[in-house]
Amino acid sequence: MKSTALFFNRLGEIMLFLKDVLTTLWVRPCRLELVMEQIWHVTVQSFPTTAMAGFFVGGIMTVQFSMQVNEFGAAAYLGGLATSATIREVGPMLIAFMLSGKVGAFTSAELGTMKVTEQIDAIRCLGADPIQEIILPRFLGIIISSFFLLTVGLMLSVIGGATLGVVFAGINPQEYVRHIPTILGIPSMISGLIKCMSYALVLATICTYMGYFTTGGAKGVGRAVVSTSVLTMVSIVVFDWGTSFLGQLLQSWFAVG
């Protein structure tokens, strides 16, 4: 019972923090150069990890599906099946897990260190708003760069799937790509992009919240990093369920239309 109360209390605090960030964005937006700096920093820092994760996620799905389609003589549809599963479900979630450990942990540690060393309090004493000057650029930068990285990771998953299709299933790349439009429709692509955006929003909100409210010195920074990784992964799984349900409704609407 106590753990449930703590969970909903933390959830309420995160929602109030998100409200403050969005209000600041609407009333007192931060400087564009600060946002661009964060976008560049996050993208350069995380692109190799995201590219490698996307490539191998697509390859793994191809290897798994190739074992099944060969039994039914449907190897020609391997590319469509593997790409659809990767873009709709597996790819965004696994790549987001990678980003939560890379971007989320780094951001919460950076902000947590600034908090426990009283740098954020110093900004407030100078008459500036820490949310406007420190949180908002990181919040927007993480959302934009994470969405870009997730999208690029999904594109690279197609290349990884085609490569492993040649190696393990003996399918040439043209045959692999030819049936992707047959199975992967517009609703599936929109569903994958919605997942990418929702995961980016979850990651940006949780890591900035945990860093901004860090207490307890260096030990508190360590706890904030661990809590950021765990809470982000759990939230991504929950949002995956919600966006999957939304994707099914979207696909049904397209089918009726």
Indicate the domain borders of the chain. 18-251
CA distance 251 to 257: 10
Position 129 pLDDT exceeds 70:
yes
pLDDT digits (tens, 9 = 90+) for 59-93: 888 888 887 777 777 777 888 888 888 888 778 88
For the chain, percent of residues with pLDDT exceeding 90: 28
Residue type, 198: S
* pLDDT given for residue 1 in this prediction: 61
pTM above threshold 0.85: yes
* pLDDT given for residue 40 in this prediction: 93
3-state secondary structure of 212: helix
* pLDDT given for residue 200 in this prediction: 92
Report the interhelical angle of 91-99 vs 186-212 (nearest 10°).
Answer: 20
Q: Would you give the end-to-end CA distance of the chain in angstroms? A: 46
Residue type, 85: A
**Tokens 């697509």 belong to residue:** 58
pLDDT digits (tens, 9 = 90+) for 224-254: 998 898 889 888 888 888 777 776 776 666 6
**Tokens 């959302």 belong to residue:** 143
Question: Residue 142, class by beta-carbon neighbours within 10 Å (0-12 exposed, 13-18 middle, 19+ buried)?
Answer: buried
255 falls in which pLDDT band (50, 70, 90)?
low
39 falls in which pLDDT band (50, 70, 90)?
very high
For the chain, percent of residues with pLDDT exceeding 70: 94
Over residues 157-184, mean pLDDT: 82
